[in-house]
Structure 1
Amino acid sequence: MKEFKSQVSDADLRILRIFKTVVECGGFSAAEVELNISRAAISIAISDLETRLGFRLCQRGRSGFSLSNEGSQVYEHTLQLLSSIEDFRTQINALHQNLQGELNIGITDNLVTLPYTRITKTLAALKDKGPNVKINIRMIPPNEVERGVLDGKLHIGIVPNLKILHGLDYQPLYEERSQLYCSDMHPLFTENDALQKSHLKDFDAVLPAYAQTPEIKAQHQPLTSTATATDREGIAFLILTGRYIGFLPDHVAERWVRDGRMRSVLPDECHYVTQFSTITRKGARPNLVLETFLSELESTSTHLDSH
């Protein structure tokens, strides 16, 4: 008899489950219905298992089905093995169901109105899996989010891809489109199609006081900056005065556009896209709460839902 030295593979487990069903059904014919595979496929599987183990497991033929002595022992060991696997699965699931601890997450301002709800859905799923998990959200500028993740005060952050820091891991999350906007009280609100991009310098503009990529800076270049704001809400405040034009993400401006209080200016020319990513610290200690959050977040990437 040869020794069983190699590791138990997924294929071995599949065949062992077939063998268990055959034994419990009392033969190949009844197992065929239970397993929903052909008798020939069952026969091949049992023969493969016998070859793998190096001895005969059962008698099959006109005289009926019966286990050999070795087959009876293999059946008992199979029950133990499959039971252990199920116990392992149950114990791991219990860990997830009893998640404990905190999730400290830093988010750049004004993302809640994005048309995709990946963060919202993920936070809901985390709460369902770990009712006792305490979620702490900090709405802070991107540089503070990065610093918080690097120094360990934050487990995860959500930031625009303005620069890549070597100590962080990045996973793409959102793409955000921005356009140039004016309010209904601004002279450009009723301007016709004759407006040229060169005319924009004649109007006061609010520019962001936070870091931007060279591509985004190029979009702001033709504007006459007479005001700045540290976040998108500040930019919206100044646009709504009717005295300034400025760039806003479409999802932020949408409520005012819908109400007729804002409109985009030269939308074919004055727009840009910002990529947002989640960031985590490289080499951070394993954290089941964070790992569960990231796993749930990954599952939303193929199930994006609009409001």
Structure 2
Amino acid sequence: MKSRQNFCLELDWNLLKIFYGIVGANGVSSAANVLWRKQSTLSLALQRLEKQLGKTLCHRGPAGFELTDEGRILYECVSEVYAKFDRIPDNLDNASRDLRGRLRLCTISNFIDAKFDKLLVAYSTLCPLVELQIKVAPWETISRAVLRNEIDVGITAVHTKYKELRYEFLTREVHLVYCGKRHHLFGTSVGSVEALSDEPLILTGADEPDTLAHYRLRHGLGKRIAASTPNLEEAKRLAVLGLGICLLPERMAAVDVKKGTLHPLTPKSLGTGCDIYAISNKHAPKRLVTEIFMEEVGRRLKRTEQILPDEKAETS
């Protein structure tokens, strides 16, 4: 047998897996069918293992397959290892439940998404002792804050993807042009966005992602600025008051549309939108609170490309 020093490092663990499968199938011939391997390949692997250990592990012949004393000892050891490996997922789950600390999360303002809400609930269930520290910031500052390790996870629209950051798609946020009940266009729908170019616009300033700025400028919106604010909630309030038209997230405006205080002037076919991502820093010091959150995002929220026809034209 090899020297006990560095034994684990030098041992070929794949040979142990094959040995475990052969014993479980009670022979090389049966194991070939179970493991989808050639019988000759399994026999060779068994011989290599015996050579590495310097022991005969089994006898094969007309009487059948039978383990030697050394083979039985090895099988018991390998079985214990398999049992411990099987417990790894449960142990990791229990570790997350005992995890303590703080997850620093920064999100764009008024981000409304049912899937994201479920994600927060799922994370809180997985890590009930972790404190969620959530703050709101303009979209363009969030990526830089993640790069500087000022926050652990950012929820934001993305203009430029940095190689240092990890991106997990969350959802597509659809934006439409809205007006309040006092506006002269309330209750109508336009056939083109350009038809609204002369209407006074409520501008969201620093909280306006690039995709929305490109959409607005391409269609001539904002020739006249009625008001500007970096706060989406304030922009919506001004639109409700009838001061002008405003580009707002569809989910954010839904309650006011239902109440009859806001009305979408553009149908979805003329709307625009931006992709929202969860982002983290690949090179930040490893923190389990962050890793578990991002893994939960990747597991629950698989990206589905849903580019609106208008967006296809915009990016072409």
Give TM-score, length-normalised by structure 2.
Answer: 0.75
Choose the corresponding residue for 1:206, options 178, 202, 205: 202
User: Which amino acid in the other structure matches residue 49 of structure 2?
Assistant: L
User: What is the deviation of 1:258?
Assistant: 3.2
- Which residues of structure 2 form unaligned runs of 5+? 305-316
Structure-to-structure mapping, 1:63-82, within 5 angstroms? 63-82=63-82
**2:18 maps to what in 1?**
15
**1:189 maps to what in 2?**
186
SS at match of 2:297: helix
Tell me if structure 2 keeps the 8 A contact 1:20–1:78.
no
Tell me if structure 2 keeps the 8 A contact 1:28–1:42.
no
**1:280 maps to what in 2?**
280
User: Which amino acid in the other structure matches residue 47 of structure 1?
Assistant: S
Distance in 2 (CA, whole Å) between partners of 1:232 and 1:220 is 21
**1:53 maps to what in 2?**
49
Q: Does 1:176 align with 2:179?
A: no
Moved more, 159-168 or 202-211: 159-168
User: What is the deviation of 1:148?
Assistant: 3.7
User: Which amino acid in the other structure matches residue 71 of structure 1?
Assistant: G
- Which residues of structure 1 form unaligned runs of 5+? none
Distance in 2 (CA, whole Å) between partners of 1:39 and 1:153 is 50
Q: Does 1:221 align with 2:220?
A: yes
Q: 1:77 to 1:262 in 2, by over 3 A?
A: same
SS at match of 1:302: coil
SS at match of 1:72: helix
Structure-to-structure mapping, 1:1-307, within 5 angstroms? 8-9=12-13, 11-12=14-15, 14-22=17-25, 27=26, 47-54=43-50, 57-60=57-60, 63-83=63-83, 85-86=85-86, 91-112=91-112, 114=113, 116-117=114-115, 119-164=116-161, 168-191=165-188, 197=193, 199-210=195-206, 211-213=208-210, 214-219=213-218, 221-223=220-222, 224-267=224-267, 270-302=270-302
Give TM-score, length-normalised by structure 1.
Answer: 0.76
Tell me if structure 2 keeps the 8 A contact 1:181–1:265.
yes
RCO higher in structure (CA 8 A, sep ≥6): 1
Aligned-pair identity (%): 23
Distance in 2 (CA, whole Å) between partners of 1:165 and 1:65 is 59
Residue-by-residue CA offset, 1:126-177 (whole Å, 9 max, x unaligned)? 2222221111111222244345434433111111124456764443332211
Residue-by-residue CA offset, 1:184-239 (whole Å, 9 max, x unaligned)? 3321124476x765553443221112154252341563332111121221221111
SS at match of 1:279: strand
Distance in 2 (CA, whole Å) between partners of 1:72 and 1:167 is 51
* Paired residue total: 292
**2:308 maps to what in 1?**
none
**2:314 maps to what in 1?**
none
RMSD: 3.8
Distance in 1 (CA, whole Å) between partners of 2:285 and 2:134 is 20
Moved more, 96-105 or 140-149: 140-149
Distance in 1 (CA, whole Å) between partners of 2:285 and 2:267 is 46
User: What is the deviation of 1:109?
Assistant: 1.0
Q: 1:296 to 1:53 in 2, by over 3 A?
A: same
User: Which amino acid in the other structure matches residue 221 of structure 1?
Assistant: G
SS at match of 2:99: coil
SS at match of 1:286: coil
Distance in 1 (CA, whole Å) between partners of 2:189 and 2:97 is 59
